[in-house]
C-alpha cells in the first residue's frame, strides 16, 4: 500500500514539474521571440520551431507519465485543422508557385499551432492568468522603457550593436517601428484591463496603469501611424465597454481624460516631428508611401483573380508579385503591406474563409466571457485579448504584422486563450450536514487536483 502511494506521489510530482516547464516554456518563448528582432531571421525562426516541437514532445511525455491522454478542447482547433488541410492541398496538388517557400511557411504555422495547443492545455486556472497578467505588464513596460531609451540615444543599430542588413526604421528590438507598435497593441490591454478590475490590489492596479501609459506613449513616439490609430481604437472600445458597464460614464470619462493627457504629453515630448508624423500621410524615412501601398493593393488583387480558389501558395508572395507589379520602384516588395490581401492571395478563398471562421469563433466566444470582466479572471482575460486582437487586426489592413513570427505567434495564442473554455476550479468533496469536514483532506485533494490540471 505504501509503495503504491509513493508511486502515485512520484507520478504527480513528475507531472507537476512537466506542467510547469510546459507553461513557462510556452509563454516564455512568446516573450523571448520579440527580443530576437521579432524572430525574422533564420536562426531565430529555427529556435522558435525547435523549442515549440520540444515542448510538444514534453507534453506527450507528460501524458505518458500520467498514463492517459487528456486534451482540453478549444473551438479553434477545427478551423486550425481545416487551414492545415488547405496548405497541405497546395503541396499535394502542386498548386503552390514555390514549394520551398510554402513548406518553410507551413513549418512556421505548425509552430504557431503547437504553441496555441500548448497554451490551451497549460493555462487552465485563474491564478495562472493573474500571474501572467502581471508578468506581461512588467515585460511590456520594460520593453517600452528600453525602446524609449534606445529612441533617444539611437546610433542606427539594434541594441546599439547590430546593423540591419536592409535598413529600416529601428524601434525597440524591431527593425520596423510598425512591428514594434503591433506588439504593443497586443500587450497594452493587459495592464490596462488589470488596472480597472478587482482582481489585483490597489498598488498592483496603479503599477499596471503606469505600465500601460508607458507602453501607449512609446507607440506614439515610435512614429507608427497604424499603431497610433489601432491604440486609439482600443481605447475607444474600452471606453464604450466602461460606459455600458455599471461603472458608468464617470470611469469612461476618466479614461478619455487619461488618454488626452498622455496624448498632450507625447506631442510635447515628441515635438514637431511627432505632430507632423500624425498629421501626414506622405512617406517618411524608408517607409513605403501611401500611394505605393495603393498600387500594391491593386496588383495583389490582380494576383488573387488569377488563382482565386487555393491561391499561389503560402509564403509565395515575394516570389510571384514581381510579375504583377505595375509601377517602377527600386525597393524589394517582400510583403503586401495588407495581411488580409496577402492571405487572400496566398491561400485563396478557401484559406481566407477558414481564417474568417477562426476570427469569428474567437470573438463569439470571447464576447460571451467578457461580460464579467471586472471581477472574474475569465472575463478579464477575454476582454484584454479582444482589445489587443482588435488593435492588430485594424493595423493589419495597412501593414504586415502577421508576417512577423513573434507577433503572429502571440496573436494566435491570444486568439486561443480568448476562445478557450473557462478556467477550472478546484474540486472539493461534499459533506453531509452531520459530518464534519476534514479540512486536511480537502486541502490535499485541492493540491492534487491543481497538480493534475497544471
CA atoms within 13 A on the CB side of 263: 13
Record the cell numbers describing residue 378, joined without a space. 475569465
Tens digit of each residue's pLDDT (9 = 90 or more) over 227-237: 999 999 998 89
Which of the four pLDDT bands, split at 50, 70 and 90, describes residue 328?
confident
Residues 6+ apart with CB under 8 A from 85: none
Give Cα separations from 382 to 225, 241, 387, 397 (angstroms): 26, 13, 9, 23
* Cell 485541492 belongs to residue: 446
Which of the four pLDDT bands, split at 50, 70 and 90, describes residue 426?
low
Tens digit of each residue's pLDDT (9 = 90 or more) over 315-327: 999 999 999 998 8
271: which DSSP letter?
A: H
Mean pLDDT, all residues of the chain: 85
Give Cα separations from 174 to 170, 171, 185 (angstroms): 6, 6, 14
The predicted pLDDT at position 451 comes to 41
Tens digit of each residue's pLDDT (9 = 90 or more) over 58-107: 999 999 988 888 899 999 999 999 999 999 999 999 999 999 999 999 99
Tens digit of each residue's pLDDT (9 = 90 or more) over 136-152: 999 999 999 999 898 88
How far is the C-alpha of 194 from the C-alpha of 208, rounded, in Å?
7
Give Cα separations from 347 to 84, 322, 393 (angstroms): 11, 18, 18
Asked if 90 and 31 touch (Cβ cutoff 8 Å), the reply is: no
Which of the four pLDDT bands, split at 50, 70 and 90, describes residue 276?
low
b/e burial code for range 287-303 (CB count within 10 A of at least 16 → b)? bbeeebbebbbebbeeb
375: which DSSP letter?
A: T
Which of the four pLDDT bands, split at 50, 70 and 90, describes residue 12?
confident
Helices (DSSP H) in 93-161: which residue ranges?
Answer: 99-122, 126-152
* Cell 497541405 belongs to residue: 88
Quote the pTM value.
0.87
Amino acid at each position: 500500500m505504501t509503495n503504491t502511494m509513493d508511486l502515485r506521489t512520484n507520478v504527480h510530482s513528475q507531472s507537476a514539474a512537466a506542467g510547469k516547464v510546459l507553461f513557462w516554456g510556452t509563454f516564455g518563448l512568446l516573450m523571448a521571440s520579440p527580443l530576437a528582432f521579432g524572430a525574422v531571421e533564420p536562426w531565430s525562426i529555427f529556435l522558435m520551431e525547435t523549442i515549440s516541437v520540444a515542448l510538444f514532445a514534453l507534453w506527450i511525455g507528460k501524458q505518458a507519465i500520467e498514463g492517459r491522454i487528456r486534451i482540453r478542447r478549444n473551438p479553434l482547433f477545427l478551423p486550425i485543422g481545416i487551414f492545415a488541410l488547405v496548405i497541405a492541398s497546395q503541396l499535394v496538388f502542386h498548386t503552390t508557385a514555390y514549394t520551398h517557400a510554402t513548406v518553410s511557411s507551413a513549418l512556421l504555422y505548425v509552430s504557431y499551432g503547437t504553441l496555441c495547443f500548448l497554451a490551451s492545455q497549460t493555462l487552465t486556472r485563474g491564478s495562472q492568468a493573474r500571474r501572467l497578467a502581471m508578468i506581461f505588464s512588467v515585460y511590456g513596460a520594460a520593453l517600452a522603457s528600453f525602446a524609449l531609451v534606445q529612441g533617444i540615444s539611437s546610433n542606427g543599430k539594434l541594441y546599439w550593436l547590430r546593423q540591419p542588413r536592409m535598413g529600416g526604421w529601428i524601434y525597440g528590438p524591431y527593425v520596423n517601428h510598425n512591428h514594434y507598435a503591433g506588439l504593443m497593441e497586443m500587450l497594452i490591454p493587459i495592464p490596462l484591463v488589470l488596472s480597472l478590475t478587482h482582481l489585483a490590489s490597489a498598488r498592483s492596479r496603479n503599477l499596471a496603469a503606469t505600465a500601460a501609459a508607458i507602453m501607449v506613449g512609446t507607440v506614439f513616439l515610435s512614429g507608427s501611424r497604424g499603431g497610433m490609430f489601432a491604440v486609439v481604437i482600443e481605447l475607444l472600445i474600452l471606453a464604450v465597454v466602461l460606459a455600458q458597464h455599471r461603472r458608468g460614464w464617470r470611469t469612461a470619462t476618466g479614461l478619455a481624460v487619461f488618454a488626452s493627457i498622455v496624448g498632450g504629453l507625447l506631442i510635447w515630448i515628441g515635438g514637431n516631428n511627432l505632430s507632423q508624423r500624425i498629421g501626414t500621410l506622405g512617406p517618411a524615412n524608408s517607409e513605403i508611401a501611401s500611394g505605393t501601398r495603393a498600387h500594391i493593393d491593386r496588383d495583389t488583387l490582380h494576383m488573387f483573380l488569377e488563382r482565386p480558389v487555393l491561391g499561389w501558395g503560402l509564403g509565395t508572395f515575394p516570389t510571384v508579385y514581381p510579375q504583377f507589379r505595375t509601377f517602377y520602384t527600386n525597393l524589394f516588395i517582400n510583403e503586401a503591406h495588407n495581411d488580409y490581401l496577402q492571405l487572400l492571395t496566398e491561400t485563396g478563398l478557401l484559406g481566407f474563409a477558414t481564417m474568417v471562421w477562426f476570427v469569428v469563433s474567437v470573438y463569439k466566444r470571447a464576447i460571451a466571457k467578457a461580460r464579467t470582466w471586472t471581477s472574474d479572471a475569465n472575463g478579464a482575460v477575454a476582454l484584454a485579448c479582444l482589445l489587443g486582437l482588435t488593435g492588430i487586426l485594424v493595423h493589419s489592413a495597412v501593414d504586415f504584422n502577421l508576417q512577423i513570427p513573434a507577433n503572429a505567434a502571440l496573436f494566435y495564442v491570444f486568439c486561443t486563450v480568448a476562445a478557450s473554455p473557462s478556467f477550472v476550479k478546484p474540486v472539493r468533496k461534499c459533506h453531509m450536514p452531520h459530518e464534519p469536514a476534514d479540512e486536511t483532506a480537502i486541502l490535499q485533494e485541492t493540491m492534487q487536483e491543481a497538480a493534475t490540471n497544471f
